[in-house]
């Protein structure tokens, strides 16, 4: 009986010691990231049967040391933190653009207003060299700001590329470590007869959690407890004790972007689509670049291109102080087309603008495909993935862009990235540096003869682009004739057709040489010239339209330049320069606000899940302190049992002796 009591006490002593060691381990790791609280699992050692009494207990035994772990909560936490990191990365990047665009001092809106104030000043005092110089200076400041903003956005793209490369290096490190721990866990579990190496399990879960903060992962537990880790749409990152390698590569479609590639068994880096990468800071960076950064660059470029195109067009319709026709005021960027680096053909294509008012803020992909045995070009707008059309050959025109073949031959599967507006802001400069070369005057002057008897007058004339190839060499005299029925105007060029736009909006076209009916308040257009005659003329009254040979005090073309500020010249004729910029600022601001709110909510959700997970797995110092006292008392009590057993054994030996 004493011997049995001794072993019973010894078993309790061993159980208490195991519990104390485990509790001490918990206490030591109270602040260790990823550590899960462990517990010594103590069970009864059973009993020994005696015929006279029955079963006597044999004490306790430690059968396992387990960790407090909830797979569901851990998985939830990984997903929540992965989404949180994606939103945080997106929010950080988009707020940089928002701060840049919405700045009331350095933004484009005040500079646009300043430049058009300069245009108005030239219109008011066209002979003033100071006003002309101020217009040039304000135009240069506006162009500089366009270029500065473009540089910032380009810098953000480079920064995203660097962060993607850095994230890929970290992902590879984590994948290698997870695979290594998988191997260690399998070896140790086998050596320990299936007992789990808890601390290694914690380390692996911590690595998986850290990996999930870089990119969304899917973890599958295979037989033996090893983790298989997948990313994207099922691409294998870790399979047992083997890990795959990701690589940062230059995008085949867009050389300005860094993409993620998965190195296959043959050692070839296979580029993954950006859309398959989600979650984590890497997914957030990809989402920002694809949904916000590119659109912002394109929208800014479209503004610059539209401004340059329309301002230049009107400026060239005027004459400067020297009587020369106006030249381009701004430089205008050209659209870009890039052949995919995986193309097997040698076709080169050249894009050009067909109508800048129709430009969008999207990029386009042109694919050379085989449809039912017929090769053709398919054009896809990337902003909404809408196929705009299929064409048997080049050139093709879409959304204000014309694409034509330069040289070479395509092969089925070849593709091209067309970016009409990406460099628009970068390439904007002011080309006019001489104040005298600002074309503020109209190339034509109008007037009525001093001897006219009627009350009719003629407006300042306007010209359009069709006037430039054949400007007036000498004045024209339009004569009112009331003897015809109806009354008419004569004197138009014999070879010129005339279009009359009546005050009610009706339009009448007259063939060259035909009699043109006079209508009070109508506009008469011919050879690129238009002017309005209003009032009641008397038979024989005449009106003159001639070349402007002295435009020093004429600011009529500057007035037309100033009118461009509010003219709907962008987005299919629905937006002015200011409207387009306001839409960009509003779009970025709203998106930034949405992402910030979503990030705040996700941070709170992740914190709640973390608290729930820690309530299961975390070490509570107060609880562990209480356990230490309890197990200490257990140890002391079992030591007392052993002492009692020893005393009883000594007494028995004394009786025998």
The string of pLDDT tens digits covering residues 351-384 is 999 999 999 999 999 999 999 899 999 999 999 9
Angle (CA) 141-142-144 rounded to 5° is 65
Question: What torsion do the CA atoms of 505, 507, 508, 512 make, to the nearest 10 degrees?
Answer: 130
Is residue 11 over pLDDT 90? no
The string of pLDDT tens digits covering residues 79-96 is 999 999 999 999 999 999
**631/639 Cα distance (integer angstroms):** 12
Is residue 524 over pLDDT 70? yes
> 177-191, 385-399, 416-430: which range is least confident on average?
177-191
pLDDT for residue 482: 95
Is residue 448 over pLDDT 80? yes
pLDDT for residue 656: 67
Contacting residues for 396 by C-beta, under 8 A, at least 6 apart: 366, 377, 379, 389, 402, 403
Is residue 649 over pLDDT 80? no
pLDDT for residue 6: 81
Is residue 334 within 8 Å of 352, Cβ to Cβ? yes
pLDDT for residue 223: 80
pLDDT for residue 3: 55
pLDDT for residue 499: 97
Please give the average per-residue pLDDT across 272-284, as a whole number: 94
pLDDT for residue 54: 78
Is residue 587 within 8 Å of 581, Cβ to Cβ? no
Please give the average per-residue pLDDT across 481-504, as a whole number: 94
Both tokens assigned to 82? 């992965």
The string of pLDDT tens digits covering residues 120-131 is 999 999 999 999
The per-residue pLDDT of the chain, averaged, comes to 93
Instruction: Name beta bridge partners: 457.
Output: 534
**437/242 Cα distance (integer angstroms):** 71
pLDDT for residue 39: 92
Q: What distances in angstroms separate CA 136 from CA 131, 424, 431, 646, one per listed residue?
A: 9, 20, 9, 107
> 305-319, 552-566, 629-643: which range is least confident on average?
629-643
Cα-Cα-Cα-Cα dihedral sign, residues 325, 331, 332, 336: positive
Q: Give the start-end residues of each E strand in 315-385.
A: 336-339, 348-353, 364-371, 374-381
Please give the average per-residue pLDDT across 503-518, as a whole number: 94
Both tokens assigned to 244? 């795959």
Half-sphere exposure of 462 (CA within 13 A, CB side): 14
pLDDT for residue 657: 57
Please give the average per-residue pLDDT across 18-31, as a whole number: 92
pLDDT for residue 321: 92
Is residue 600 within 8 Å of 91, Cβ to Cβ? no
- Residue 650 binned pLDDT confidence (cut-offs 50, 70, 90): confident
Is residue 1 over pLDDT 80? no
Query: Which comes out higher in pLDDT, residue 656 or 57?
Result: 57
Query: Which comes out higher in pLDDT, residue 17 or 57?
Result: 17
389 membership: H or E segment, kind and range:
strand 386-391
| DSSP string of 429-471, one letter each residue | -B----GGG---B-SEEEEE-TT--SS-EEPPPEE-GGGTTS-
pLDDT for residue 643: 85
Whole-structure pTM value: 0.88
Please give the average per-residue pLDDT across 641-654, as a whole number: 80
> 50-59, 112-121, 313-322, 370-379: which range is least confident on average?
50-59
Q: What are the strands of the beta sheet with 516-517, ordered from one edge?
A: 444-448, 542-547, 476-481, 488-490, 516-517
**500/2 Cα distance (integer angstroms):** 127
**442/434 Cα distance (integer angstroms):** 19
Contacting residues for 413 by C-beta, under 8 A, at least 6 apart: 343, 344, 367, 368, 369
- Residue 8 binned pLDDT confidence (cut-offs 50, 70, 90): confident
Both tokens assigned to 272? 């993954």
pLDDT for residue 193: 73
Is residue 551 over pLDDT 80? no
Percent of the chain with pLDDT over 90: 79
């Amino acid at each position: 009986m004493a011997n049995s009591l001794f072993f019973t006490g010894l078993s309790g002593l061993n159980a208490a010691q195991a519990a104390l060691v485990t509790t001490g381990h918990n206490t030591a790791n109270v602040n260790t990231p990823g550590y899960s609280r462990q517990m010594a699992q103590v069970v009864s050692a059973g009993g020994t049967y005696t015929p006279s009494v029955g079963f006597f207990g044999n004490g306790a035994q430690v059968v396992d040391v387990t960790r407090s772990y909830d797979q569901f909560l851990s998985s939830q936490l990984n997903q929540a933190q992965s989404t949180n990191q994606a939103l945080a990365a997106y929010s950080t990047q988009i707020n940089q653009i928002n701060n840049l665009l919405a700045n009331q001092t350095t933004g484009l809106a005040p500079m646009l207003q300043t430049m058009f104030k300069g245009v108005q000043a030239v219109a008011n005092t066209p002979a003033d060299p100071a006003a002309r110089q101020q217009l040039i200076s304000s135009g240069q400041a506006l162009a500089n700001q366009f270029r500065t903003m473009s540089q910032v956005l380009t810098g953000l793209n480079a920064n995203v590329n660097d962060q993607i490369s850095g994230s890929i290096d970290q992902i590879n490190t984590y994948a290698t470590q997870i695979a290594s721990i998988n191997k260690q866990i399998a070896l140790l579990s086998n050596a320990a007869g299936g007992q789990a190496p808890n601390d290694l399990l914690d380390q692996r879960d911590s690595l998986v959690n850290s990996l999930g903060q870089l990119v969304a992962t899917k973890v599958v537990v295979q037989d033996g407890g090893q983790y298989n880790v997948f990313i994207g749409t099922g691409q294998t990152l870790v399979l047992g004790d083997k890990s795959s390698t990701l690589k940062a590569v230059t995008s085949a479609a867009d050389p300005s972007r860094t993409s993620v590639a998965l190195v296959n068994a043959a050692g070839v880096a296979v580029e993954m689509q950006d859309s398959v990468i989600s979650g984590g800071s890497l997914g957030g960076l990809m989402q920002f670049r694809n949904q916000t950064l590119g659109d912002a660059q394109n929208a800014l470029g479209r503004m610059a291109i539209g401004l340059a195109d329309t301002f230049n067009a009107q400026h060239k319709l005027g004459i400067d102080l020297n009587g020369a026709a106006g030249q381009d005021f701004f430089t205008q960027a050209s659209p870009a087309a890039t052949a995919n680096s995986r193309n097997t053909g040698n076709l080169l294509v050249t894009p050009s603008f067909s109508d800048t008012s129709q430009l969008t803020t999207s990029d386009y992909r042109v694919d050379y495909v085989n449809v039912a045995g017929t090769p053709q070009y398919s054009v896809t707008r990337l902003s909404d993935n809408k196929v705009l059309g299929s064409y048997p050959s080049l050139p093709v025109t879409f959304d204000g862009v014309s694409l034509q073949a330069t040289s070479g031959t395509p092969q089925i599967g070849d593709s091209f990235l067309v970016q009409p507006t990406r460099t628009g802001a970068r390439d904007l400069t002011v080309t006019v540096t001489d104040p005298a070369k600002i074309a503020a005057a109209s190339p034509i002057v109008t007037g009525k003869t001093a001897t006219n008897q009627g009350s009719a007058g003629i407006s300042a004339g306007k010209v359009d682009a069709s006037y430039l190839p054949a400007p007036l060499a000498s004045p024209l005299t339009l004569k009112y004739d009331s003897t015809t029925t109806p009354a008419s105007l004569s004197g138009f060029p014999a070879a010129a057709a005339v279009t009359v736009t009546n005050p009610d909006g009706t339009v009448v076209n007259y063939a060259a040489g035909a009699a043109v009916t006079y209508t009070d308040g109508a506009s008469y257009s011919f050879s690129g010239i238009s002017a309005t005659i209003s009032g009641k003329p008397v038979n024989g009254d005449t009106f003159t339209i001639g070349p402007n040979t002295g435009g020093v005090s004429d600011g009529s073309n500057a007035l037309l330049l100033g009118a461009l500020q509010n003219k709907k010249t962008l987005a299919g004729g629905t937006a002015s320069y200011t409207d387009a910029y306001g839409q960009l600022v509003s779009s970025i601001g709203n998106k930034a606000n949405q992402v910030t709110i979503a990030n705040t909510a996700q941070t709170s959700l992740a914190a709640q899940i973390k608290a729930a997970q820690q309530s299961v797995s975390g070490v509570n110092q107060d609880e562990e302190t209480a356990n230490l006292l309890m197990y200490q008392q257990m140890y002391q009590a079992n030591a007392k049992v052993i002492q009692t057993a020893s005393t009883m054994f000594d007494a028995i030996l004394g009786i025998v002796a």
